[in-house]
């Protein structure tokens, strides 16, 4: 295994670890509410605080990456994860636990920008589809591990044991990260020779790049629909189809399970197709047809095919966007900024999707929940068309005069 793949698997490990720490709350939510006397509204912030931290930190994380490089930036992210987990493990009040979650959110915010930017540093654009496809499974893999490991750990060590375990895994990962991850061309101490640093580039140029905002809009819509729907779908399945809670939750979890083969398939296809923007646009168009059907299912037999479809196809949006983001920027040095902008879109969608859809469907008006998803996907479809047209324009600009 070459150096670049060692780096890729290491940043993937770091990404999965921070997601495990993010999703350790839902499996023990009932216990936390009982032990710390937390209301449902306050308990919801134990997850939402991560999205808030992600929005606030997205652009600063890009600056930190540019200033300190991939090794130190990633170690900072893992360090915040360790610190937040320790604070949470020692928490005796909901306020202290929430403070620990905020610190952990800082770690996630840093890693979510640093990890894909590091992959973009090590792989050429034509090579990046597969490694970015693998990396795009970090959330479903991390969340699946959290859901399955939290119960046994809680039984033997209490809910605090989950926080201590999360801190311990993050410490081990930080050691591996510090030994493996460098910037391409870096010397053994992690510094980069003058010849490898490249020309200085302007963040203003990156902000003025339309394509990165089209990609970010895709992330807003993806997370708005994906998180918005899966937040309320278990209740929808229970109320409309009279499913037991365990089965309703399992059906919802199939969305995340199907994300894994979907991301890998997209990563493979990105290495085979000539027009990656068109592949992304196709995924957006299909998702525009799929998501507005979510609260219109007419029988329980339709649930499994539907959740498998929205797990398999829309994840192409995430994988292709992460792959394209560094490429659409005017300079490779702006890769961190590109990831920061995508992270803003990701967290904005996560923040607004669940409460807005929840407000619309309140009182059992489930069919109305399809309309917000349809509206945001239609807007994103327009952005997808503009993204493809922008790509054709860029090709005309760089093509030799005789080939125009």
Question: Minimum mean pLDDT among 3-17, 97-111, 190-204: which range?
Answer: 190-204
Distance from C-alpha of 320 to C-alpha of 120, rounded to nearest angstrom: 13
CB 258 within 8 A of CB 307: yes
pLDDT tens track for 54-91? 888 888 888 898 889 999 999 999 999 999 999 999 99
Distance from C-alpha of 96 to C-alpha of 387, rounded to nearest angstrom: 44
pLDDT tens track for 149-175? 888 898 899 999 999 999 999 999 999
Residue among 172, 153, 171 nearest 161 (CA): 153
Tell me how far CA of residue 382 lies from CA of 215, 217, 352, 375, 376, in angstroms.
12, 10, 21, 11, 10
pLDDT tens track for 19-60? 999 888 877 877 888 888 877 556 667 877 877 888 888 888
Instruction: Kindly state the helix (H) or strand (E) to which residue 75 belongs, with its residue range.
Output: helix 40-89
The mean per-residue pLDDT over the stretch 305-315 comes to 96
What domains can be seen in the chain, in order of their start residue?
A: 1-182 (1.20.1250.20), 201-404 (1.20.1250.20)
44 Cβ neighbours under 8 A, 6+ residues apart: none
Question: Minimum mean pLDDT among 244-248, 272-276, 384-388: which range?
Answer: 244-248
Asked whether residue 187 carries a pLDDT value surpassing 70, the answer given is: no
The predicted model scores a pTM of 0.77
Share of the chain above pLDDT 90, in %: 52
pLDDT tens track for 106-124? 999 899 889 988 998 899 8
Asked whether residue 244 carries a pLDDT value surpassing 90, the answer given is: no
Asked whether residue 399 carries a pLDDT value surpassing 50, the answer given is: no
CB 376 within 8 A of CB 225: yes
The mean per-residue pLDDT over the stretch 263-281 comes to 93
């Amino acid at each position: 295994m070459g150096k670049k793949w060692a780096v890729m698997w290491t940043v993937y490990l770091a990404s999965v670890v921070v997601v495990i720490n993010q999703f350790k709350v839902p499996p023990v939510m009932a216990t936390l509410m009982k032990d710390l006397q937390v209301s449902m509204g306050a308990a919801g912030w134990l997850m939402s605080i991560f999205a808030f931290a992600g929005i606030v930190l997205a652009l600063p994380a890009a600056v930190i990456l540019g200033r300190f490089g991939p090794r130190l930036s990633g170690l900072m992210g893992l360090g915040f994860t360790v610190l937040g987990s320790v604070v949470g493990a020692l928490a005796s009040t909901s306020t202290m636990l929430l403070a620990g979650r905020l610190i952990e959110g800082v770690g996630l915010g840093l890693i979510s920008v640093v990890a894909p930017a590091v992959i973009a540093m090590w792989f050429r654009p034509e090579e990046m589809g597969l490694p970015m496809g693998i990396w795009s499974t970090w959330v479903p893999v991390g969340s699946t591990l959290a859901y399955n490991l939290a119960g046994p750990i809680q039984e033997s060590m209490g809910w605090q044991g989950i926080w201590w375990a999360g801190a311990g895994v993050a410490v081990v990962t930080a050691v591996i990260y510090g030994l493996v991850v460098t910037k391409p061309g870096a010397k053994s101490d992690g510094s980069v020779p003058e010849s490898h640093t490249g020309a200085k580039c302007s963040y203003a140029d990156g902000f003025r790049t339309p394509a990165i905002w089209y990609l970010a809009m895709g992330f807003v819509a993806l997370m708005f629909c994906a998180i918005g729907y899966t937040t309320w779908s278990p209740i929808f399945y229970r109320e409309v189809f009279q499913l037991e809670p365990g089965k309703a939750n399992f059906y919802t979890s199939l969305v995340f399970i199907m994300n894994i083969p979907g991301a890998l398939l997209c990563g493979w296809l990105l290495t085979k197709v000539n027009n990656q923007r068109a592949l992304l646009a196709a995924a957006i168009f299909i998702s525009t047809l799929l998501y507005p059907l979510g609260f219109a299912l007419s029988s329980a037999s339709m649930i499994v095919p539907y959740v498998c479809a929205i797990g398999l196809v829309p994840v192409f949006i995430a994988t292709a966007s992460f792959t394209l983001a560094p490429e659409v920027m005017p300079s490779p040095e702006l890769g961190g900024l590109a990831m920061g902008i995508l992270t803003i879109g990701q967290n904005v969608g996560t923040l607004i999707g669940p409460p807005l859809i929840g407000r619309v469907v309140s009182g059992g008006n489930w069919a109305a929940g399809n309309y917000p998803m349809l509206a945001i996907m239609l807007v994103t479809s327009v952005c997808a068309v503009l993204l493809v047209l922008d790509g054709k324009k860029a090709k005309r600009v760089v093509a030799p005069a005789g080939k125009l």
